[in-house]
């Protein structure tokens, strides 16, 4: 089976022809590489800054046509789209995507006109969590708490192989747990949210208050070079992360915590520190706690988009078979 996986992030649009059987073997793709390299496109935006949906549709169409023209290649049967926003799967709409200027938009239907195959939407952190729980570092563990640390901090809880979406599909906003009651103002309008300290942007802000101008990635690199100021910034971010994690662990007692995302450099020192910081803060009943790096890191949401598209194909074939039996 072949599907098209699409990831709509804050800066880029990534697409990849996906087949989950490539990931089920023993090969370790840890480090963000994937058996089929993804295509990177600049995210198209309208002059006012919102997502340019017709340009996204054109990219999808182009990718599907490329597959169609390739002799002997499996044809794309569905498209899975992970997006940095809240998705209502049953209505097939993006309820809210602040950074993309989308508010209650029927994106799946709009993209289907161009793709001419079923399109399934998923919140990016849910897609990424699903990828790690089914094919990555959370495989064989239940339940899994997945955290993704990039521009913001998102999460997913995966129980019995399925995402716990929450009553309003909002169980993905780990980054807005308050870790500092009188802390910095967050873009969500509240104060002291975790993402203001532990995301890429948060690390940059912490670096700024220590007198260093550096983005999240530069802080990570400086820390790996052993620069004290950067190591201190990351230690501070990890303290906040441990604070939020401890609350989550007490609530759900996961079998494994998997951390991924583009702004999280998975070094052994960080994991040891987080492990210690969390262990100190939680009740014995939820211990021992296992915190591990994700297998797919920055590509997890793209892999997850592929998984939800494959699922849609399976469900539709099952429906067709049932119809045939009844006719």
- In the chain, % helix, strand, coil (3-state, to 5) comes to 45, 20, 35
Task: Give CA–CA dist 150/229, Å, rounded.
Answer: 21
Closest CB to Zn ion among residues 93, 193: 193
Q: How far is the CB of 177 from Zn ion (least distance, A)?
A: 9
**First and final CA of the chain: distance in angstroms?**
26
Burial class (CB in 10 A: 0-12, 13-18, 19+), 279: middle
Closest CB to Zn ion among residues 185, 320: 185
Q: How far is the CB of 98 from Zn ion (least distance, A)?
A: 11
Reference 301, options 84, 141, 93, 103; nearest CA is 84
| Pair of tokens at residue 23 | 């990931």
| Pair of tokens at residue 272 | 């040891």
Contact residues toward Zn ion (CB under 5 A) are 176, 186, 188, 190, 193
Closest CB to Zn ion among residues 45, 190: 190
Length of the chain: 327
Q: How far is the CB of 193 from Zn ion (least distance, A)?
A: 3
Closest CB to Zn ion among residues 64, 186: 186
Chain centroid to CA 17: how far?
18
Q: How far is the CB of 244 from Zn ion (least distance, A)?
A: 12
Q: How far is the CB of 152 from Zn ion (least distance, A)?
A: 9
- Between strands 256-260 and 291-293, the pairing is parallel
Closest CB to Zn ion among residues 108, 193: 193
Q: How far is the CB of 111 from Zn ion (least distance, A)?
A: 29
Closest CB to Zn ion among residues 89, 191: 191
Coil, helix or strand at residue 232: helix
Rg (CA), the chain: 20
């Amino acid at each position: 089976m072949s599907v098209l996986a699409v990831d709509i992030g804050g800066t880029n649009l990534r697409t990849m022809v996906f087949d989950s059987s490539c990931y089920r073997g023993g090969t370790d793709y840890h480090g963000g590489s994937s058996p089929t390299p993804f295509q990177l496109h600049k995210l198209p935006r309208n002059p006012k800054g919102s997502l340019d949906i017709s340009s996204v549709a054109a990219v999808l169409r182009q990718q599907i046509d490329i597959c169609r023209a390739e002799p002997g290649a499996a044809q794309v049967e569905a498209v899975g789209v992970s997006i940095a926003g809240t998705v209502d799967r049953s209505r097939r709409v993006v309820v809210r995507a602040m950074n993309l200027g989308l508010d209650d938009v029927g994106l799946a239907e709009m993209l289907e006109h161009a793709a001419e195959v079923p399109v399934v939407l998923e919140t990016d952190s849910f897609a990424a969590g699903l990828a790690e729980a089914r094919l990555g570092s959370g495989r064989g563990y239940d339940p899994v708490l997945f955290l993704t640390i990039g521009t913001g901090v998102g999460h997913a809880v995966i129980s019995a192989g399925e995402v716990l979406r929450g009553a309003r599909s909002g169980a993905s906003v780990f980054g807005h747990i308050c870790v500092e009651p009188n802390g910095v103002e967050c873009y969500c309008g509240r104060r002291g949210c975790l993402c203001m300290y532990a995301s890429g942007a948060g690390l940059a802000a912490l670096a700024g208050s220590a007198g260093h101008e550096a983005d999240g990635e530069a802080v990570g690199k400086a820390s790996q070079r052993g620069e004290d100021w950067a190591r201190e910034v990351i230690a501070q971010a990890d303290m906040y992360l441990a604070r939020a994690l401890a609350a989550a662990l007490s609530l759900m007692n996961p079998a494994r915590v998997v951390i991924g995302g583009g702004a999280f450099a998975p070094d052994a020192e960080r994991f040891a520190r987080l492990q210690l910081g969390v262990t100190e803060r939680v009740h014995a009943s939820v211990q021992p706690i296992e915190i591990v790096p994700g297998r797919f890191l920055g590509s997890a949401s793209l892999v997850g988009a592929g998984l939800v598209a494959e699922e849609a194909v399976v469900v539709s074939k099952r429906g067709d078979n049932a119809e045939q039996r009844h006719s």
